[in-house]
Amino acid sequence: MTGQLWIALLVGLVASAEDLWRRNISNWIPATACVVGFAWQVSQRGWIGVWQAFAGCAAGFAVFLAFYLLGGMGGGDIKLMAGFGALLGLDRIWEAALWTAILGALLAVAVLGFHAAVGFVRKEAKARQPKAIPYAPAIAAGVCLSLVPH
Going 58 to 61 to 67 to 71, the CA torsion angle's sign is: negative
Give me the chain's average pLDDT, please: 90
How sure is the predictor about 71, in pLDDT bands with cuts at 50, 70 and 90?
confident
Q: Under DSSP, is residue 11 helix (H, G, I), strand (E, B) or coil?
A: helix
Q: Beta-carbon neighbour count of residue 79 at 10 Å?
A: 24
pLDDT above 70 as % of the chain: 90
Domains of the chain: which residue ranges?
3-146
Going 7 to 13 to 16 to 17, the CA torsion angle's sign is: negative
Contacts of 106 (CB under 8 A, 6+ apart): none
Convert the pLDDT of each residue in 83-132 to its tens digit.
999 999 999 999 999 999 999 999 989 888 887 777 655 655 454 555 67
